[in-house]
Amino acid sequence: MEVIMGDVIKLTESGELSKDSGTEGIEGIETMPTTEPNQEKSSSRKFDFSKTFKRHVLLKFLYFGWDYQGFACQEDSNNTIEFHLFKALTRTCLIESRSSANYHRCGRTDKKVSAFCQVISIDLRSKFPEKQQFEESCLEKEIDYCGIMNRVLPKNIRCISWMPIRNHLFSARFDCITRTYRYFFPKGNLNITAMQDACKLLQRHTDFRNLCKMDVHNGVTNYVRHIEAANVRLCPHQNESKNKGYAMHYLEIKANAFLWHQIRCIMTVLLLIGQEKEEPSVINELLNVEKNPCKPQYTPAMGFPLNLYHCEFRDKSEQKAMSESQQGRRDLRDLTKWLHNENNLRRLIEILQSEWSQAQIKATMVRSTLYDLEQLLEKEFNAIDVNFQTSLLQDNVKRKSYQKLMSRKRCESLNNRIEHFVKKQRLTVPKQKDSVEEQELSMP
């Protein structure tokens, strides 16, 4: 048995968390008693990673981001998804440190943004030497990575499954070929057909500097992205004719990568089109950067309805395998298959059903009150439907008269911003062919 002091974790001989191990505040886990100053310290030592094996894996996570400050670690806040992930990884002795873990993330979601399919690549402790790690019997007896992490993670961050990877250089970031996001919203008074027409125009353009938040000060100078698909759909099990403005829809958008606030900016314009304040053709106007090099002023839509829904990876990494054992597998796919645990999935479903029940009870109570009030409005004043369900998603500043996007004040152009930071010696413009790789690949 190994014991780690500080955040105390007990490990069984199999490498799993014992049922009575852990720290205070974790269900079913007891804290080890503290030692009095004059009392002899119990024999204990730090976990010796030099005596363990490692394997390279993909880990798939689910999280609801509305209580967090984003995915990536921040200097001024511990309230991030990544902070909790690495806290769990180190407490369970799956890694020694972040710097030695060969870590990459698939996407960097912003404040309040969720993920149904966030994927990271990382080296984790293994029970078996490298030559045996892909044998079926070893995979069955491997450490239950998701199970032991979920015991110490917050309930709204869950590990779903893991995949053994043959190439140690396979990257969840650089070997991800497409990312799919969904943005959920109620129909309200929106013209869904007009929004769908506008989505088709998104696929005709590649320079999205006017549909994102430009961060030239962070070195991002390339705003070319390739949208493979975009559409607005009715959520499953929703009845649009029965629910009227309450029927839930979602924007689904798929691309090789996304810019900072790109999807939220796209959603803002789609909402204006759905409200018939703008024509679908405004998409062509905004994305014609030669004609309109300066972005009109508008506020991105709210972030909490957005989630990273799906990721796709190439079979073979563009990075070359280095070890001899990996070279012997160079004709095989780097990807294998996602490994799930029935008990973990049952527990995950149980947790999400509880989350759903709580949210649905609140939503039903509000909806019931709305129904009574709407009936009263119709009876007393013979008023038409009131549909303001989407107002929460937009800029809360209400203007007496709407001003068209293309007639609004413009932001500074990309070229002017680049020139400004180059003069301040705060920016070195990378070569065009390297710029996309050097920038963060997913900041919607």
- For residue range 193-215, what is the model confidence (pLDDT) as tens digits? 999 999 999 999 999 999 999 98
The pLDDT score that the predictor gives to residue 35 is: 42
The closest alpha carbon to 309, from 153, 158, 109, belongs to 109
Nearest to 144 by CA among 346, 342, 345, 341: 341
Q: Is the pLDDT of residue 307 over 60?
A: yes
What domains can you pick out in the chain, each with its CATH number? 53-176+312-318+333-341 (3.30.70.580)
Return the structure tokens found at 92.
Answer: 């369970």
Measured CA to CA, the distance from residue 354 to residue 403 in angstroms comes to: 44
Query: Is residue 19 scored above 70 in pLDDT?
Result: no
Q: Which of 27-36, 293-302, 384-393 has the highest mean pLDDT?
A: 293-302
Sequence-distant (6+) residues with CB within 8 A of 385 are 244, 245, 374
pTM, whole model, 2 decimals? 0.85
Higher pLDDT, 396 or 67: 67
Specify whether 110 is catalytic.
yes
Closest by Cα among 192, 199, 184 to 275 = 192
Residue of 147 and 3 predicted with greater confidence: 147
Task: Return the sign of the alpha-carbon dihedral for residues 417, 419, 422, 428.
Answer: positive
Q: How far apart (Å, rounded) are the C-alpha atoms in residues 430 and 217?
A: 13
CA-based end-to-end distance of the chain:
45
Task: Please check the confidence at residue 340 and state whether its pLDDT lies above 80.
Answer: yes
Distances (CA, A) of 358 to 6, 155, 299, 364: 35, 14, 31, 10
Among candidates 223, 205, 201, which has minimal Cα distance to 270? Answer: 201
The one catalytic residue among 48, 76, 110, 385: 110
Structure tokens at 31: 């804290």
